[in-house]
Amino acid sequence: MESTRERSIWAWGWRDKFPDEAARRGLAQMVQIMVPGVKPAPRALPAEPDVPSSTLAVPDALASFASQAPRDRASHARGRAFPDLVAGFAGDYAAAPDVVVRPRDADEVARVLDVCATNNWAAVPFGGGTSVVGGVDSKLARGNRGAVVSLDLSALVGVREVDATSRLARIGAGTLGPALEAELETHGLTLRHYPQSFEFSTLGGWLATRAGGHYATGPTRIDELAHAVSLVTPRGSLETHRHPGSGAGPEPQRWIIGSEGALGVITEAWMRVVPRPRWRASASVAFKQFEAGVSAARALA
Ligand SMILES: Cc1cc2nc3c(=O)[nH]c(=O)nc-3n(C[C@H](O)[C@H](O)[C@H](O)COP(=O)(O)OP(=O)(O)OC[C@H]3O[C@@H](n4cnc5c(N)ncnc54)[C@H](O)[C@@H]3O)c2cc1C
């Protein structure tokens, strides 16, 4: 499910929801109160973000799926932690990656890693870019390397196969939360993983960060929902086993989930899915003491 709606370069949400000048002035005042010493000054925004020109000549091997457009480079410069928002608000894109690539299959992912290894360039896997720990920060990735390549997974999307008997679905790593659930719904299924960043984060990002969702009284961490993972590394590809269960040796998937892109690029995964609930009801309960609420949550779990 492709969306043509454009995201904000730096803020949470959509470009067409960008705050007007009065709202931006209010936000600047709030930031000054919350982060002493920081003085973001709202200014007229240029039509295109101000990114430094890159001397990198995109190799032919990557050219058909690469972009050096200022907007692309700026929107892949960093994640969505509060300091990221402050820097984006100030229009600071000095550390933007040199190029953004959007490989269309696992072979193209391998090609990107190969080119990066040969040239001593940093490759930064980029899912939804909602990291709050600097995971997609191109300044941190650059170090002493000659260039930073943001490896955007947005072309590896969709629910590709459903095994209704085993309740498994093979899903592209770049699939955003809403598209993933919308596609599973057509099969009467759900992954039931809802981090608060659901709208703008991806399956690959959830796996790479070992994300936790709502529904904490049931299976909620992404590692509990992952069945098998495909990974492209600079030294070859790896597909973890799709057996119903195995006790043979260490489980390689455990190394991959939570590795923050350091071991390779997750291209797709078989995920455990469940039938969508047929009825839904909610109620509010007030407890007189905090401990009583905790006990009730434990009893429900
Ligand atoms: C408002 C807000 C709410 C949030 N709520 C939650 C929450 O409820 N629970 C929670 O756990 N987290 C939460 N987060 C943090 C963040 O959303 C999660 O870490 C999320 O899993 C990141 O997914 P992403 O697709 O945006 O990944 P990105 O931010 O793009 O990447 C995160 C890290 O994973 C790597 N990576 C991404 N895709 C791949 C891939 N395919 N292969 C290999 N490496 C990859 C990146 O290089 C980076 O290191 C929240 C963040 C925000 C801003």
CATH of the domain at 232: 3.30.465.10
Q: Is 209 in the pocket of ligand 1 (CB under 6 A)?
A: yes
- Please write the tens of the pLDDT for every residue from 260-286: 999 999 999 999 999 998 998 888 999
**Does one domain contain both 128 and 181?**
no
In a domain, 291, yes or no: no
In a domain, 256, yes or no: yes
**Does one domain contain both 78 and 135?**
yes
Share of the chain above pLDDT 90, in %: 68
Residue-level length of the chain:
301
Share of the chain above pLDDT 70, in %: 97
**Does one domain contain both 75 and 41?**
yes
Residue of minimum CA distance from atom 14 in ligand 1: 197
CA torsion sign for 227, 230, 236, 241 is positive
**Does one domain contain both 127 and 241?**
no
Q: Is 203 in the pocket of ligand 1 (CB under 6 A)?
A: no
Three state DSSP letters for the chain:
CCCCCCECCCCCCEHHHCCCHHHHHHHHHHHHHHCCCCCCCCCCCCCCCCCCCCCCCCCHHHHCCEECCHHHHHHCCCCCCHHHHHHHHCCCCCCCCCEEECCCCHHHHHHHHHHHHHHCCEEEEECCCCCCCCCCCHHHHHCCCCCEEEEECCCCCCEEEEECCCCEEEEECCCEHHHHHHHHHCCCEECCCCCCCHHHCEHHHHHHHCCECCCCCCCCEHHHHEEEEEEEECCEEEECCCCCCCCCCCCCHHHHCCCCCCCCEEEEEEEECEECCCCCCCCCCCCCCHHHHHHHHHHHC
**Does one domain contain both 143 and 163?**
no
Average pLDDT over residues 163-174: 96
Residues β-bridged to residue 231 = 238, 266
CA distance 266 to 73: 22
Q: How many angstroms is it from 127 CA to the middle of ligand 1?
A: 7
In a domain, 220, yes or no: yes
**Does one domain contain both 196 and 137?**
no
Q: What is the pLDDT of residue 247?
A: 83
Ligand 1 atom nearest the C-alpha of 207 is 21
- The domain of 223 spans 159-275
Q: Is 202 in the pocket of ligand 1 (CB under 6 A)?
A: yes
**Does one domain contain both 163 and 267?**
yes
Ligand 1 atom nearest the C-alpha of 80 is 53
Q: What is the pLDDT of residue 217?
A: 64
Judge contact between 289 and 276, C-beta under 8 A: no
Domain count, the chain: 2
In a domain, 121, yes or no: yes
In a domain, 88, yes or no: yes
Average pLDDT over residues 184-202: 96
CA distance 126 to 156: 12
**Does one domain contain both 132 and 166?**
no
Which tokens in the block code for residue 192? Answer: 């039931």
**Does one domain contain both 134 and 38?**
yes
Q: What is the pLDDT of residue 288?
A: 96
Q: What is the pLDDT of residue 122?
A: 97
Query: Which band of pLDDT confidence, cut at 50, 70 and 90, is reported for residue 58?
Result: very high
Supply the mean pLDDT for the chain.
91
Q: What is the pLDDT of residue 42?
A: 63
Q: What is the pLDDT of residue 89?
A: 77
Residues β-bridged to residue 228 = 270
Pairing between strand 226-233 and 159-163?
Answer: unpaired
Q: How many angstroms is it from 279 CA to the middle of ligand 1?
A: 30
Res. 108: pLDDT tops 60? yes
Q: How many angstroms is it from 209 CA to the middle of ligand 1?
A: 6
Ligand 1 atom nearest the C-alpha of 263 is 43
Q: Is 97 in the pocket of ligand 1 (CB under 6 A)?
A: no
Judge contact between 266 and 151, C-beta under 8 A: no
In a domain, 61, yes or no: no
Average pLDDT over residues 92-97: 93
CATH of the domain at 130: 3.30.43
**Does one domain contain both 238 and 209?**
yes
Burial annotation 210-238 (CB, 10 A radius, 16+ → b, else e): ebbbeeeeeebbbbebbbbbbbbeeeeeb
In a domain, 289, yes or no: no
